[in-house]
Structure 1
Amino acid sequence: MEATASKEAPSRGGPVPPPAPPQGVPMPPIPAPVPPGGAPPAPQPHPPAPPANAPTDILVTSRTLKVEAKLFYLDLKENPRGRYLKITEKSYGQRSTIIVPEQGVGWFADMFAFHASGGDGAPGLAVEELQVENKAFFFDVGENPRGRFLKVSERGGPATRSLLIVPDGGEANAGWAQFAHALTHINDVVKGGDGDGGEGVESGGRSSAGDAYVGGGGNEQVDG
């Protein structure tokens, strides 16, 4: 009597697994589970990359000043919101920046010219505080054993406070006179010129620049 092969009954309490496909035939993809109450969310596309010609801040004109041991970069820039002057001080491994709206550039030029001339000028120029947009700027003259300096403070805007220290530059306030000259040029551009898109370099101050002056400065700030 031949023995018959017995078939194992499927285990109770669970679904019967699908039969294995023949060798060489790939398994069909397993569909994603559908959450209760609806179809699975469609995949979100990646945000498009910004165009290569996206608008950026354009340099209109620029001046670089060397006053004693410090370098100052004066950059008039333009973006869709308007023009602004970025003044950066670099000294002793530190960098400090203030941002001046275009309406304040002429006042800055007048203030530096006023102090470069020893304070001789119209009495109104002695007012050393300017409110423009959401910012306030202050000019203060200070002196220590190393020399005289102008402290230019900015309050408001993205930074709570930012500070520049500009030495007088020695004889005839040469450093302040440099600033007045450069700012006058930039203000002429603000009032109607297109600028040169380039950079001018001016230098002056005491010859013993390394020991002539030590001034403080704030941390570098973001332009905006």
Structure 2
Amino acid sequence: MVELKMADGDSGSERGGSSGGGGGFQHFQRDQETQELASKRLDIQNKRFYLDVKQNSKGRFIKIAEVGAGGSKSRLTLSLSVAAEFRDYLGDFIEHYAQLGPSTPEQIAQATAGEDGGPRRALKSEFLVRENRKYYLDLKENQRGRFLRIRQTVNRGPGFGVGGPVGGMLSGQTIALPAQGLIEFRDALAKLIDDYGGDDEELTGGTAAGGFSELPEGTSIMVDSKR
């Protein structure tokens, strides 16, 4: 089942507490400087996805959060220009997925032939490189079905390019979107871009979009499911 909701109360990417530990003042300062403009929620199978439009002094950006059944949460951060490219790539993945026939047991066994039982090969792949960030999109398949894995890596040091990081620390976040929710996810993202994308310069990565180094990094936390 795929269900689209407007998230109420706290934003989806921030709901469920904090990552704990130190840095409380930095989190408070960032919250004071960042304004939330909109939040949408998608329920796909046993997962929840939140898409939040936020704004700081450098411009607007979108946070995407995945909350699993066990309460784990992963978050990606996209500038509006990258979000627009993601929207277009999602259209390509939707078209490719629609052309795939039903999986045979042999195909599933081949796709999950990795040592850990995870998906070994991608049915379709794309990637983006923007300053200190890389985004990988892979349509994969396992015994539970087909899904789009989206991975973001952030280099926190100098020397990042197409060939990878040089002398920097690399951190990454991954979300897995069930293929049956690709259209709903793309449409929700497109609506936020249409409503909050601003001018053409912002969507094409001009000065109005702000630098990638100003975007907050994605994080992974555990959400307390108890009421």
**Shorter-chain TM-score: which interval?**
0.5 to 0.7
Partner of 1:177, secondary structure, is: helix
> Contact 1:153/1:164 (CA < 8 Å) preserved in 2?
yes
Please report how far the alpha carbon of residue 183 of structure 1 lies from its aligned counterpart in structure 2 after TM superposition: 1.0
C-alpha separation between the residues in 1 aligned to 2:192 and 2:87? 9
The yes-or-no answer on 1:164 pairing with 2:170 is no
Moved >4 Å (runs of 4+): none
Look up the match of 1:116.
Answer: 94
> Contact 1:105/1:186 (CA < 8 Å) preserved in 2?
no
Please report how far the alpha carbon of residue 77 of structure 1 lies from its aligned counterpart in structure 2 after TM superposition: 0.3
C-alpha separation between the residues in 2 aligned to 1:76 and 1:156? 20
Question: Once superposed, what is the RMSD of the aligned Cα atoms?
Answer: 2.6
Q: 1:103 to 1:119 in 2, by over 3 A?
A: same
Counterpart amino acid of residue 85 in structure 2: W
Counterpart amino acid of residue 86 in structure 1: K
C-alpha separation between the residues in 2 aligned to 1:71 and 1:97? 12
- The answer for unaligned runs of 5 or more in structure 1 is 1-53, 170-174, 194-217
C-alpha separation between the residues in 2 aligned to 1:87 and 1:160? 17
Counterpart amino acid of residue 164 in structure 1: I
> Contact 2:52/2:63 (CA < 8 Å) preserved in 1?
yes
> Contact 2:125/2:138 (CA < 8 Å) preserved in 1?
no
C-alpha separation between the residues in 2 aligned to 1:81 and 1:181? 26
1:59 pairs, out of 36, 41, 59, with 36
2:82 pairs, out of 69, 83, 104, with 104
- The answer for unaligned runs of 5 or more in structure 2 is 1-30, 100-123, 157-169, 200-218, 223-227
C-alpha separation between the residues in 2 aligned to 1:66 and 1:119? 20
> Contact 1:55/1:79 (CA < 8 Å) preserved in 2?
no
1:82 pairs, out of 40, 52, 59, with 59
Higher percent of residues as helix: 2
C-alpha separation between the residues in 1 aligned to 2:78 and 2:177? 16
> Contact 1:59/1:76 (CA < 8 Å) preserved in 2?
yes
Q: TM-score, normalised by structure 2?
A: 0.54
Q: Radius of gyration: which is bigger?
A: 1
Counterpart amino acid of residue 191 in structure 2: H
The yes-or-no answer on 1:219 pairing with 2:186 is no
Identity of aligned residues (%): 27
Please report how far the alpha carbon of residue 190 of structure 1 lies from its aligned counterpart in structure 2 after TM superposition: 4.0
Look up the match of 2:183.
Answer: 177
Q: 1:157 to 1:79 in 2, by over 3 A?
A: farther
